[in-house]
Amino acid sequence: MQQNAISVKQLNTYVKSLIEGDTRLSCIWVRGEISNFKNHYASGHLYFTLKDSDASIRCVMFRSYASSVKFEPCDGVQVIIKGRVSLYEKDGGYQLYAEEMLADGLGDISLKFEQIKERLSKQGLFDQESKRRLPVFPQRIAVITSDTGAAVRDIINITGRRCPSTKIVLCPVAVQGERAVPDMLSALERVYALSNIDLIIIGRGGGSIEDLWAFNSEELARKIYESPVPIISAVGHETDFTICDFVADVRASTPSAAAELAVPDLSELKVRLFKYESTLKAALISKYKYSEARLQAALRSVYFADPMKAFVFEKEQLLDRLTDFLFISGEKKLSECENSLLKLISRLDALSPLKVMKRGYSAVSKNGKSVRSIDEISIDDSISLRFADGKVSCLVTNKE
């Protein structure tokens, strides 16, 4: 039995032949979520895991098949894959060799559109802060579109009717197919090099999502973001939205709407100017009449009839007012001083020793100095007693 043992490679080769011999596994559709996605840019091969809630399987998609995928695979995307199951002999693991990949849920084109939109939005290409206002009176407008479609005729006709002085610089390009994106990129480069362009309109008429797909180009969106002048995106009909619409400064629902946004209607401006002119004239007439009435009233005043008399009269009135003020202020100040003096006299009188003596008291002095204590007097001393109405001299004969 041991002599019949086979190598690992032989075992894997045998199992591989069994798997590849099953016709059900040679062409199978599998639904799942992509994870562990790796894009080997050098080789162009895609490596990832396809999983659901219960299981997973390793997958590889070679460059020849990967180039046909219409969206950008990444982790978390739900897909349906057509391929074949086989065994990788080197590590003995079986895997799914993908040959076709479709988006599960959103269509391939819709998924790719959302992926580009999300990526550019995160990078700030759609931020409102970067949007510029359109010029009010553009002198030259570059129109990048097909020279054979209805869009260019609508733009030329409408701008010519609304503002004949505006010049249109037509940049004919392919608007669908393989040449569309390179043509529009080249046209933008040429327009950017011009110094006399005030505004750019880029767009085309309506069509299917496939027809409008060139305007979802990430490269074209980045080139529009670099524009030195404002850009109006006018792609398709009102319900059509493309990446160009989000990155441009202004989105127009149709090429005709773009032309209306780009230039003012001179006929409407003339009507508005006429109204402004009438309003201004009425305001000036009213101002003139008001100023004339004030002038006539001034001429009739005494200042013009007899300016010297008016001047003297005014100064006399001022002098009278000042005299009255000084008189009143003087009387008030004199009264205040008189009241203060009476208060001081009253306080001084209250402190006078004579008033105390009138109540029966006397002041004792010895040798001309006031005596405040009995200790300052001795027997046989001569002292003086001062009363309210006179003074007497005394000899001390006793001391208690």
Question: Which residue type occupies 297?
Answer: A
Multiple choice CATH, 2-105, 3.40.1010.10, 2.40.50.140, 1.10.10.1100, 2.160.10.10? 2.40.50.140
Whole-angstrom CA distances from 57 to 25, 32, 105 are 14, 10, 21
Question: What confidence tens digit (pLDDT) does each residue in 177-230 have?
Answer: 889 999 999 999 999 999 999 999 999 988 877 788 899 999 999 999 999 999
Question: What confidence tens digit (pLDDT) does each residue in 378-387 have?
Answer: 888 888 877 7
DSSP string, 148-178: SSHHHHHHHHHHHHH-TTPEEEEEE---SST
Question: What confidence tens digit (pLDDT) does each residue in 347-385 have?
Answer: 877 776 666 666 667 788 888 788 788 887 888 888 887
Decide if 183 contacts 173 (C-beta within 8 A). yes
> What span, in angstroms and rounded, lies between the C-alpha atoms of 204 and 171?
12
> What span, in angstroms and rounded, lies between the C-alpha atoms of 145 and 184?
8
Whole-number pLDDT of residue 75: 83
> What span, in angstroms and rounded, lies between the C-alpha atoms of 204 and 87?
51
Whole-number pLDDT of residue 171: 94
State percent of the chain over pLDDT 70.
92
DSSP string, 109-136: HHHHHHHHHHHHHHTTTT-GGG--PPPS
Whole-angstrom CA distances from 152 to 49, 147, 173, 205, 256 are 49, 6, 11, 9, 9
> What span, in angstroms and rounded, lies between the C-alpha atoms of 109 and 310?
93
Q: Which residue has the higher pLDDT, 240 or 106?
A: 240
Question: Which residue type occupies 253?
Answer: S
| Average pLDDT taken over every residue of the chain | 86
Multiple choice CATH, 137-264, 3.40.1800.10, 3.40.1180.10, 3.30.230.10, 3.40.50.261? 3.40.50.261
Segment of 29-33, 68-72, 310-314 carrying the highest mean pLDDT: 29-33
